[in-house]
Amino acid sequence: MNRSGSPVGFGLRLRLVLTLTLVAIFPIACVSYVIVRDEVRNVTRTIDFEVHNAALAAQGRFARLLDQRELQAVAAASSPGLRTAIRRNQTRKLERFARRNDLLLVIDGHRYGSRLSHAVTAPVQLVSGGSSIGSVAAQLPVDAVTLERVTPSTDSGVRIAFVNQDGAGQPSGTRGATLPLTGNVDINAYMPRSIETDRTNSAYMRVAEAGLLALLALMLLTFVLARPLLRTFRWTEEQASEARIDSLTGLANRRAFEEVLASEISRAQRFEHQLAIVLLDLDRFKEINDSFGHAAGDVMLRSVSHLLTSLARQGDTVARWGGEEFVAVLPETDLPGARRFAERLRRTIEAHPVGEMRTSASCGIATMLPEDTVEALLGAADQALYQAKANGRNRTESAIRTSSSAVA
């Protein structure tokens, strides 16, 4: 038995291992640097995503609280007792009314009620005889209690703070996102430096361990004359969020709706399913803005959006089309079903005033033809809506169409 081959073979293996190790150190170091850079970038992006989402959530909760106060102001503005006190110039009654309801009244230049310090107001104009006689405003204090109510529940370590637009109250040395609330007050979501450092150090540690394990595996596999198996690296995709929600109503915006409608048309054509859309327009909405102010008009739009959402089925998509127009796509729905939905919505809107504000709706319905596109289907619904307006408003009209591919 020739034993001389064993030491030579071992020496070749050892030299091969050492050579490949020296050759591999540079690319492994380069790859580790790239991975560390991307890992740290991903940690930063994740933190930015978390704090921005937390700021958006807090901003949304604050807006809902302010909407509730604004609805209280609208209800107070329509109170018969308040109107009587204003007409009779009963200053004591106006003062009691303002303090009891935590409101701030301004009538003919006189103020009633106490203005809370560091509070955001939701004013509503008082209109008499077509002209403004003053305003009534509910107040939402910007304090620790409100901050606790708007802080989203999360265990990611994100903190929330109110800051002034001049920078007062802004946490220093932190990574955060600041979004406007109203007036000179912003909402700030931030990640404490200690948490950010822990996440970054964890990323460094993961990459360092991975690099050492890769080097060890390469040495081992080379030593046993195996081909390297470690050729894959996981890359984390960039997290991105595109605004697809209408900021006033919380419904899908026009762009998001058109994407959904295109997808639903494709699905309906592929499986030969029915599809309908309802285009809705509030009647004489300009008169509400002129009589009660644009803030009250926004409250009305939010109220209609809530009604539309509550009446829609699971699987339906509702959106704000623009201005006072709304649109709904109804999968698996024929013309009678879409008409029943539109009529139920129209009657519900008519039967649910907001304070003294009343409105009605005109609806246009269209069902999909086999060759329809997004533009064709929406155009048919728009023509039906135009017909409903021309026929007197507060009604529903359907687009009657014939498929160009139908055989006579």
In whole angstroms, what is the distance from residue 331 CA to residue 278 CA? 11
Find the radius of gyration of the CA atoms of the chain: 32
- The answer to whether 231 and 37 have CB atoms below 8 angstroms apart is no
Rounded to two decimals, what is the model's pTM? Answer: 0.42
Parts of the chain with a pLDDT under 50: 1-9, 225-242, 406-408
Q: Which residue has 């430096």 as its token pair?
A: 193
User: Secondary structure of the chain: what % helix, strand, coil (to 5)?
Assistant: 50, 20, 30
The model's pLDDT over 184-232, given as tens digits with 9 standing for 90+, comes to: 788 888 877 777 777 777 777 777 777 677 667 666 655 554 344 333 3
Domain boundaries, the chain: 7-225, 254-398
| Superfamily of domain 254-398 in the CATH hierarchy | Reverse transcriptase/Diguanylate cyclase domain (3.30.70.270)
Assess contact for 178 and 55: CB atoms under 8 A. yes
Given a contact cutoff of 8 angstroms between Cβ atoms, the answer to whether 94 and 112 are in contact is yes
Q: Which tens digits make up the pLDDT trace of 368-386? A: 999 999 999 999 999 999 9
pLDDT tens for each residue of 278-296: 999 999 899 999 999 999 9
Q: How far apart are CA 48 and CA 172, in angstroms?
A: 16
CB 62 within 8 A of CB 146: yes
Q: What are phi and psi of 333, to 5 degrees?
A: -130, 130
